[in-house]
Every structure is written in structure tokens, then in C-alpha cells.
Amino acid sequence: MDEFLVEMAEILEEDAVGPSDELDGFESWDSLAALSVVAMADAQFGVRMSSQEVRSAETVEDLYQLISAKKAA
Amino acid sequence: MDAAFNPLQLHGRHFLVTGASSGIGRSTALLLYRLGARLSVVDRDEQGLASLCAELSPELREADPLVPHIADLSDTAAIEGLVARCVAANGLLHGVVHCAGIQAIAPVRTLKIDGWRKILAVNTEAALMLGKSMSSKKVYAGENGSIVFISSVMGMVGSVGAVAYSMSKAALDGMARSLSLELAPRRIRVNCVAPGYVRTPLFEQTETLWDDATKKAVEDLHPLGFGQPEDVANAVAFLAADTGRWITGSVLVVDGGYLAR
């Protein structure tokens, strides 16, 4: 989770993010950020996601759970 | 017309094809061999190369060996040695087709230095090292020389998420132009083929990231639809053979009309 939060902070251009943070609350949360999550999930966690799946998440934790579930599958 | 007339024939010529285990590289290897060339085929995927050799085994000609070499082209310094082994096994080279490449969607926010350097290493630096190796009298057969680099329309136009990939392919196009001028006195032609979206295993991985609307939008940008690896291989063969005799320093776009918009 810690590594994931660091990656998300970089994507969202924030000093730090927390699991319960709502994605729509970040100014930098846009389609490019969603694509960045897709790229990050692949490069850092070996998990393939679609932009649609990423955009379905509401919080940072939701994204983490999506990645964790795919990794476990 | 003489039934045997084939301006694309490559009898008596040795080509090195990288990325030969799948996609464009595999189609290129299949076509060049069927046009009469003897081949050195390179990839890091040992199983993929084995399946290529198995596919061609019913057509193998004793006079035209098909020699596989397992190699990771991100190790740029090892490429000269690889080329030397190809020559030792199968004779001097008439040409190189560099199809190996890394395609990764990575918006600039997520780009890491190591990541983009690896893309550059395989897509661009490996091409340069192959061209440099080919320029040597110890490697080049001395006639009918043809180097083809598989570039991309992403080297000419932009695409979100393709920063490093576009950089690598645009650099390839520029590099090929200057290399073509240096190697013209030796009668080695240097050209790029720039495909649009082609249905390869790499492409199919990218496609899984798209929702249906995105898939349709991307396909609609290609007036002739998505391409097949054979479409690109045909263009490579045209440049590799005597049909490309007077073509050098060029980028042949094979994109189903993507850039025509």
C-alpha cells in the first residue's frame, strides 16, 4: 500500500495521498491521470487494467483494491 | 510474362530480422524466407523463435539456412557480437530488418528514467548499433545492401501516453536519414517503415486497456481499418528487394490512411 500511495501522489501531483481520499477531490484527477494509473499498475504491479475500470473507482483505496484483486487472480 | 518473374525475390541474400518471434517481425521473417532469403532470426523469446522455425520447417531449403539467435537487444553493447555470430553461422549480410521494439503506454507523469531509457535502448539504440555493424566490411556482403527499421506513425504525430515511444521512433527516422547518406557509397540503403495500428500481440495487449468507445474511435481514425502484420512485411520486402533499389533515407508510411486526416 505504501508504494502504491507514493505512486498515486506522484500521479495526482500531491505531496501525499491517503487511502480514503476521493479521487474527484483532486484537481489533477483527469483522463490523463487515469491513463497514468493504468500505466503505473502495469509497470509497477504487473497488472493490466482498462481506463474504464480505473474511472469506476471513487477513492484511492478503491484503486488499490482493484489492483490487489487483479494481482491475486 | 515469365511465370518465374518475381522482382521481390531475395535468392542468395542473407538477412537478419530482429523481433522475429511474433507480430511484424515474424511476418517479415516468414515473407523474406519465402522470397528466397536465408535468415538469421533474433528475439529474446526462445519459444517464439522455436515456433517460427517449426512453422518454416516444411519449407526449409538446405542452401538457405534459417538460424535462430536468442538475444536481448536492450544490451546494446552485445549487438556487435550478435551480428558477428550471425555472419559466422550464415555468411555475410545483405540486410537487416529491425522489428524488435518496446511499446508502452506511459503518460509523462509516470515515466521513469529507467523505463524510457529501456524503450530507447531497444527501439532506437539497437537499430543504430545494427546499422553500425552492418557498415563493416566484415559483416556486409558488398552488394544489394538494405537496412529497414520498423518505425511508427507515432514518430510523426503525437498520441497521449506515447511520449517515450514517439521519441524513440522519431529519433529512428532522423537517424535513418543520416545513416542512409553515410552508407550510400557502399550501396547500402537505409529506410524506415512507419506502421499505424497493426494487429499484433503487442497491439492486442494495448487494446485490452481500451473501453469499447475508445476502440471504435481509434479504429475510425484508420480509413482502411487496423492493419495486419503482413501489410507491413510486404512493405519491408519491397524495400529489401531490388524493387527498393532507388529508395534510401525515406520513411514509408503503411497506416491504412491514419496520417491522411
pLDDT in tens, A6-60: 999 999 999 999 999 999 999 999 888 988 898 888 888 888 888 888 989 999 9
| Conformation bin of residue A13: beta by default, left when phi > 0, alpha when psi is -120 to 50 | left
Long-range contacts of B136-143 (CB under 8 A, 24+ apart): B138/B84, B138/B87, B139/B83, B139/B84, B139/B87, B139/B92, B139/B93, B140/B92, B140/B93, B140/B94, B140/B186, B140/B188, B141/B13, B141/B14, B141/B91, B141/B92, B141/B93, B141/B94, B142/B92, B142/B186, B143/B94, B143/B187
Percent of chain B whose predicted confidence (pLDDT) is above 70: 98
Q: B33, B140, B165, B258: which is the annotated catalytic residue? A: B165
A38 contact B CB<8A:
yes
Catalytic, B165? Answer yes
Closest Cβ opposite residue A50 in set B106, B107, B209: B209
Chain B contact present for A60, CB below 8 A: no
Q: How confident is the model at residue B2 (pLDDT cuts 50, 70, 90)?
A: low
> Which pTM does this prediction carry?
0.91
Contacts of B192 (CB under 8 A, 6+ apart): B148, B149, B150, B151, B155, B172, B173, B176, B250, B251, B252
